[in-house]
């Protein structure tokens, strides 16, 4: 047996029937040209079911020691049943994305069996458009977003001719991947038990970092009294909406892709990062959603924004992540002022983390998360939410990937919700797109599919601000990618707007079009505007 570290154990301790603590993802593939689809699926299923040594902790289950549930351990499973963990499903006709999302919603609602290794993989056939899908879920105690991306890179190939011989969770596949990626391995930075018992004293004696942590805690506490500038912290002025309630065990999953070039164009024109624009998109979408439910609050929503603490050479850690509290500025009408408020909030949070080493930041996060653990254990998280929602941006591969010759068309993350925030927005950057996966409590957050349209409307709003709306590079026409919602026959806000724009453009004179192109990048106001 080996002990489960404190950060990973937190996800196991917080889990209950209403709040499963697994993360997952839905990957869409195009079949290779000319293959027998049934034979192809049988071949990849056989690879998934190869029973071999698995990398930690996917060949282990969770057990307790003498201290009972207060001390958890990973125990090797000598009786692993591969058919239980790898399953084959088929969609009912006509196999649209709607049916696929319904299936994923149900699969994502069920708990993983604690008596077995904490993972499942579902191969899904029956989709239209010559496609199939792979849905996987793994306990958050075993992976975070960055480690999940390492697993994706280990599983897939940049060469369409490559054929997999090992399970993606196997020790052999992962060691081969690490050998390709790393010239040498760095030791994991992880706090020891005695450090957690008396953080300040041990750090004073061994690491001489007391001043950094004291300063960080002082800034953290000062934010509650308005003495820390733009720094936002959990629980402070977090409004109570339908998103911030206790949740049931039922989930709703929706997904959509957005062209990366659109977001990057706004970034360049507004001097913002991709993460800033993503947060601004989500802010505008949440404003519209809450307005549609007649409950937009006077105070701004706050989002937990995970930030990786993982060293570049660390491929083995299950969780190496910190959290910034992002002020989404949903109380501000003007989109430019809203964006600048989000930027200031993120800069303050990143500044706090930069003042500490990786070890100090890990300790700081573990100490400041204790109230959240207690609140969840006592059933108070729904009454006193720490955040409004979670918005996580996971960097993914930028090249086209293949799995046994099948091209990967999209990877849509499916994360967790629990008492206090009933919606989670996670996205992965892949190829030339941003793939959003949204998970919500089915009862607490009705009609969550509207968020997809509101994200599009919010991005259009930012494009208008930046002067990049409907502007294509010289000599090139903008290609609109077929996304899950569009392919399902759903008219998104973008589809309707483009139809109107096209009709108006035909009626305009050539001189008017030339004038419009000349004003592509208007200067943004340097001073903040008043709230609306």
For helices 171-181 and 145-155, the axis angle rounded to 10 degrees is: 100
CA atoms within 13 A on the CB side of 368: 22
From the candidates 140, 150, 166, 236, which is the catalytic residue? Answer: 140
- Point out the least confidently predicted range of 206-210, 226-230, 336-340, 355-359: 206-210
Helix 210-222 and helix 358-368: axis angle, to 10°?
40
Across the range 243-266, mean pLDDT stands at 94
Tell me the pLDDT band of 481, cut-offs 50, 70 and 90: very low
CA-wise closest residue to 84 among 128, 122, 132, 33: 122
* Confidence at residue 84, expressed as pLDDT on a 0 to 100 scale: 95
Nearest to 391 by CA among 319, 293, 287, 283: 283
pLDDT of 463 over the 50 cut: yes
Cα–Cα distance for residue pair 484/486, rounded to 1 Å = 6
Residue 471: its pLDDT value, please? 56
What pLDDT score does 504 carry?
A: 47
Q: Residue 274 CB: number of other CB atoms within 10 A?
A: 17
Q: Does the predicted TM-score (pTM) go above 0.85?
A: no
Indicate whether 206 pLDDT > 70: no
3-state SS, residue 426: strand
| 140 a catalytic residue | yes
> DSSP labels for 269-336?
HHT--HHHHHHHHHHHHHHHHHHHTT---SSPPEEEEEEE---TT----S--EEEEEEE--TT---HH
- Mean residue pLDDT across the chain: 79
Describe the crossing of helices 274-292 and 450-466 by its angle, rounded to 10 degrees: 130
CATH homologous superfamily for 2-181?
A: Chloramphenicol acetyltransferase-like domain (3.30.559.10)
Q: Of 433, 426, 350, 438, which is closest to residue 394 (Cα–Cα)?
A: 426
Q: What is the pLDDT of residues 270-307, one digit of tens each?
A: 999 999 999 999 999 999 999 999 998 988 999 988 77
- The arrangement of secondary structure in 204-473+484-489, i.e. its CATH architecture, is 2-Layer Sandwich (3.30)
Confidence of residue 6 (pLDDT cuts 50, 70, 90): confident
Three-state DSSP class for residue 169: coil
Q: For 90-135, how does the pLDDT look when each residue is reduced to its tens digit (9 = 90+)?
A: 999 889 999 999 999 999 999 999 999 999 999 999 999 999 999 9
- Tell me if domain 2-181 and domain 204-473+484-489 are identical in fold: yes
Confidence grade of residue 325 (pLDDT, cut at 50, 70, 90): confident
Asked whether 446 and 423 are in contact (CB, 8 A), the reply is: no
**195 has a pLDDT exceeding 50:** no
The torsion angles phi and psi of 232, rounded to 5 degrees, stand at -105, 145
Give me the count of residues in the chain. Answer: 532
Is the model's pLDDT at 404 over the cut of 90?
yes
pLDDT tens-digit profile of 161-184?
Answer: 999 888 888 888 888 877 776 544
Q: Where are the domains of the chain?
A: 2-181, 204-473+484-489
Mean pLDDT over 341-369 rounds to 73
Place of tokens 């998104």: 492
| pLDDT tens digit sequence for 31-40 | 999 999 999 9
């Amino acid at each position: 047996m080996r002990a489960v570290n404190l950060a990973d154990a937190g996800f196991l301790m917080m889990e209950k029937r209403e709040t499963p603590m697994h993360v997952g993802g839905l990957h869409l593939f195009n079949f290779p040209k000319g293959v027998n689809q049934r034979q192809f699926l049988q071949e990849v299923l056989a690879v998934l079911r190869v029973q071999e040594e698995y990398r930690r902790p996917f060949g282990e289950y969770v057990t307790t020691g003498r201290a009972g549930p207060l001390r958890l351990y990973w125990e090797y499973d000598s009786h692993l049943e591969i058919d239980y963990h790898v399953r084959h499903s088929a969609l009912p006709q006509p196999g649209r994305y709607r049916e696929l999302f319904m299936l994923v919603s149900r699969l994502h609602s069920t708990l993983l069996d604690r008596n077995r290794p904490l993972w499942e993989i579902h191969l899904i056939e029956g989709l239209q458009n010559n496609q199939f899908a792979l849905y996987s879920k793994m306990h958050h105690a075993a992976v975070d977003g960055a480690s999940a991306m390492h697993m994706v890179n280990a599983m897939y190939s940049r060469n369409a001719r490559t054929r997999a011989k090992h399970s993606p969770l196997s020790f052999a596949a992962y060691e081969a991947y690490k050998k390709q990626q790393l010239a040498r391995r760095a030791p994991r930075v992880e706090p020891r038990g005695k450090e957690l018992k008396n953080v300040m004293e041990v750090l004073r004696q061994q690491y001489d970092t007391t001043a950094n942590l004291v300063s960080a805690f002082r800034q953290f506490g000062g934010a509650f009294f308005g003495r820390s500038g733009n720094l936002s912290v959990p629980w402070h002025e977090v409004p109570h909406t339908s998103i911030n309630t206790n949740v049931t065990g039922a989930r709703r999953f929706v997904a959509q892709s957005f062209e990366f070039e659109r977001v990057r164009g706004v970034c360049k024109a507004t001097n913002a990062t991709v993460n800033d624009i993503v947060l601004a998109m989500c802010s505008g979408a949440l404003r519209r959603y809450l307005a549609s439910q007649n409950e937009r609050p006077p105070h701004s929503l706050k989002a937990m924004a995970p930030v990786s603490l993982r060293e570049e050479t660390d491929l083995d850690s299950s969780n190496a992540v910190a959290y910034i509290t992002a002020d989404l500025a949903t109380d501000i009408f003007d989109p430019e002022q809203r964006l600048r408020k989000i930027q200031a909030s993120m800069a303050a949070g990143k500044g706090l983390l930069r003042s500490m080493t990786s070890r100090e930041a890990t300790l700081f996060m573990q100490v400041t998360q204790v109230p959240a653990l207690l609140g969840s254990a006592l059933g108070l998280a729904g009454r006193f939410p720490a955040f409004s929602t979670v918005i996580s941006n996971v960097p993914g591969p930028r090249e086209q990937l293949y799995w046994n010759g099948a091209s990967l068309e999209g990877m849509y993350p499916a994360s967790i919700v629990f008492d206090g925030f009933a919606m989670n927005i996670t996205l992965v950057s892949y190829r030339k797109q941003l793939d959003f996966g949204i998970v919500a409590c089915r009862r607490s957050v009705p009609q969550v599919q509207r968020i997809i349209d509101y994200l599009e409307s919010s991005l259009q709003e930012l494009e208008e601000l930046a002067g990049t709306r409907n502007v294509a590079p010289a000599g090139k026409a903008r290609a609109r990618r077929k996304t899950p919602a569009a392919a399902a026959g759903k008219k998104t806000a973008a589809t309707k707007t483009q139809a109107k724009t096209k009709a108006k453009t035909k009626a305009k004179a050539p001189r008017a079009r030339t004038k419009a192109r000349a004003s592509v990048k208007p200067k943004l106001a340097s001073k903040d505007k008043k709230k609306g």
